[in-house]
Amino acid sequence: MASYCQKCGYKLSMIDIKPECPICGVNLVYYGMEETLKREADKAEFEHAVFQPRIDRLKAATIGSPLSIARLVIGFLPLLATLLPMAKITVSLPYFTENVTVNIISIITKVFMNLDFDYLMAMTSSKAVGTGYICYIVALVSFIFILLSTIVNLFNLIISCGKKGIARNITVASIGLAFTVIGSVTLSLWCSSLSSAVPDIFSGSAVIWGSLAIAAAFIAQIVINAVLKKKGVKVKYKDVSELLIPYDERQKLAKEKAEIQTTAEAQTT
């Protein structure tokens, strides 16, 4: 309980245990709460008004037009394409033969995460398969950048209406396309190198249509962003200027508008 009544200023004593002021009768617990709630509501509305333009830009970038919706759909294509096969590998050992079809996701999650780097570096020094394993390392790095490019461009979609948003989308998609070419070529070279060096044990070949699908997905991203850059993306901003005015002033303006409207109606009748 406060030491003084917030309304009349009466100094409260130890015997004033009731929630009401003994002088003016105001409830000391709830007095001023309405004003506090007004200030909190005003703050919440102001924060909403500040954040609203970001929401408007997000809507324009994702569902603001048929082209934006098409870009949103195309944005997921490279990620889905990483599930397509990149190579077919056969390993033959005594009493054991395994046929495996690998894609970018499986290469990163199963191969790269459990990779023996000491063994890999030793193989790069081999005269027979050294060049092939160097290509293998380049392919692994390329696949990581491909996956990162797909994820980054999905995030970029929601900020495409920002400064240099479309240019950023095109740049990231171009990087993904470049690493798709590099990764596909080096993976094919690694398969060819091992198949030639140890044909009785290893046989592998790249799956060209998997690489082409990933490349086509990145090209589609570049094209749709180029079209949007040319046509432009119109952002429909919601008018929240009134929410930027303090609560008391808004109430005053609303009262004045109501009085003007009442006067106008009275004059017409």
Read off the pLDDT of residues 219-248 as tens digits, 9 standing for 90 and up. 999 999 999 888 887 878 777 766 667 666
Euclidean distance between CA atoms 57 and 237, whole angstroms? 8
152: pLDDT strictly greater than 90: yes
For 124-138, how does the pLDDT look when each residue is reduced to its tens digit (9 = 90+)? 777 777 888 888 889
Instruction: Report the pLDDT value the prediction gives residue 1, as an integer from 0 to 100.
Output: 45
pLDDT band at 186 (very low <50, low <70, confident <90, very high): very high
Task: Kindly list the strands in the beta sheet with 96-102, ordered across the sheet, starting from the edge strand earlier in the chain.
Answer: 96-102, 87-93, 202-206
pLDDT of amino acid 213: 95
- Please report the pLDDT score of residue 151 as a whole number: 92
Res. 42: pLDDT tops 80: no
Rg (CA), the chain: 33
- Tell me the pLDDT band of 161, cut-offs 50, 70 and 90: confident
CB 24 within 8 A of CB 30: no
Q: How far is 91 from 204, CA to CA, in rounded Å?
A: 9
Number of Cβ within a 10 Å radius of residue 264: 10
Q: Give the side-chain half-sphere CA count within 13 A for 54.
A: 7
Percent above pLDDT 70 for the chain = 90
In the predicted model, is pLDDT for residue 2 greater than 60? no
Decide: helix, strand or coil at residue 139: helix
Question: Who has greater pLDDT, 177 or 31?
Answer: 177
Tally the C-alpha atoms within 13 A of residue 9's C-alpha that lie toward its C-beta: 0
Question: Whole-angstrom Cα distance, residue 213 to residue 224?
Answer: 16
pLDDT surpasses 80 at 146: yes
In the structure, what pLDDT confidence band is assigned to residue 112 with cuts at 50, 70 and 90?
low
pLDDT at 179 over 70: yes
Determine the Cα–Cα distance for residues 257 and 264; give it in Å rounded to an integer: 10
Mean predicted confidence (pLDDT) in 1-30: 72
Average pLDDT, the chain: 82
Mean pLDDT, rounded, for 171-198: 91
Q: What is the pLDDT of residue 59?
A: 82
**What percentage of the chain has pLDDT greater than the value 90?**
25
Partners of 202 in the β-ladder: 91
> What pLDDT, on a 0 to 100 scale, did the predictor assign at position 7?
67
Q: For 263-268, what is the mean pLDDT?
A: 76
- Please indicate whether residue 175 or residue 48 has the higher confidence score (pLDDT): 175
Give the Cα separation of 267 and 15 in Å (integer): 59
Kindly tell me if the per-residue pLDDT of 109 is higher than 90. no
